[in-house]
Amino acid sequence: MMERMGSSSGTSPHRAESRARSVAFTGLFIALIAVSAWITVPIGPVPVTMQMFAIPLAICVLRPSVAVSAIYGYELLGALGVPVFSGMRGGIGVLLGPTGGFLWGYLLAVPLACVLLQAARKAGWVGSALAPDPLAAPVPFAQRVRSMLQDMGFYIVAGIVFTVVSYVFGLLWFMHLMQVGIEAALATCVVPFVIPDMLKIVLAACVARALAPVAQTSVVGARA
């Protein structure tokens, strides 16, 4: 009994610290997503923002539960009127406006991309989730390059999955709200953003390759 109590008391501080770090990373990425939304280039009803960098970065760097908490927390703050959306706007009106479909789409796109990426990690296809063992033998250069490219490939796929789901929601919402056909909606909501968003996803994958081992092992690792 005493041994069990000692074991329990030993793990409790670790869990509390892990929970605190999860909350910290959640708050950090809520702020990052908000700032990325404020970086706006207005080109029509749907502006260009840096969210397609910040959200894929969160998907790739954070554990699924933390990434999902960040995007849900971000949208909840926006719905309550905190000016975290593009153009420093807030309120339920933004969620119901022409760009609202993208915001609603994030709520499904982030969990879906996280689940797919986590499945790849558990299968051993993505190796950067955990920090390297300093006591292990040095990894050959060619193997490190191959691992880096493989990780980045899966990060890019996760970013594309997130983006496609967001596009679908944004497109359908815009068509319904503005009463336009699919051609006009594609020309407004999708076509101008494909290349810039792909570049942002690649940039997010590059940054995530460096940050993921640190962020995930700081929050109990990718296996949790």
174-214 pLDDT, tens per residue? Answer: 999 999 999 999 999 999 999 999 999 999 999 998 887 67
The CATH fold of domain 12-129+136-218: Arp2/3 complex 21 kDa subunit ARPC3 (1.10.1760)
Structure confidence at residue 10 as a pLDDT band (50, 70, 90): very low
Contact status, residue 8 vs residue 56, Cβ threshold 8 Å? no
Structure tokens at 137: 């033998």
Q: What is the pLDDT of residue 212?
A: 74
pLDDT for 134: 55
Res 96 pLDDT > 50? yes
**Ranges of each domain in the chain:** 12-129+136-218
- CB-side exposure of 110: number of CA atoms within 13 Å? 31
Q: Which of 25-34, 120-129, 213-222 has the highest mean pLDDT?
A: 25-34
What 3 state SS string does 16-77 have?
Answer: HHHHHHHHHHHHHHHHHHHHHHHCEECCCCCCEECHHHHHHHHHHHCCHHHHHHHHHHHHHH
Distances (CA, A) of 4 to 1, 10, 11: 5, 10, 11
The model carries a pTM of 0.85
d(CA 50, CA 31): 13
182 Cβ neighbours under 8 A, 6+ residues apart = 171, 175
User: CB-side exposure of 192: number of CA atoms within 13 Å?
Assistant: 15
Residues 182-190: contacts with CB under 8 Å, at least 24 apart: 188/44, 188/45, 188/46, 189/46
205: closest CA among 163, 170, 168?
163
What percent of the chain lies above the pLDDT cut of 70? 83
Q: What is the pLDDT of residues 54-84, one digit of tens each?
A: 999 999 999 999 999 999 999 999 999 999 9
Q: What is the pLDDT of residue 153?
A: 95
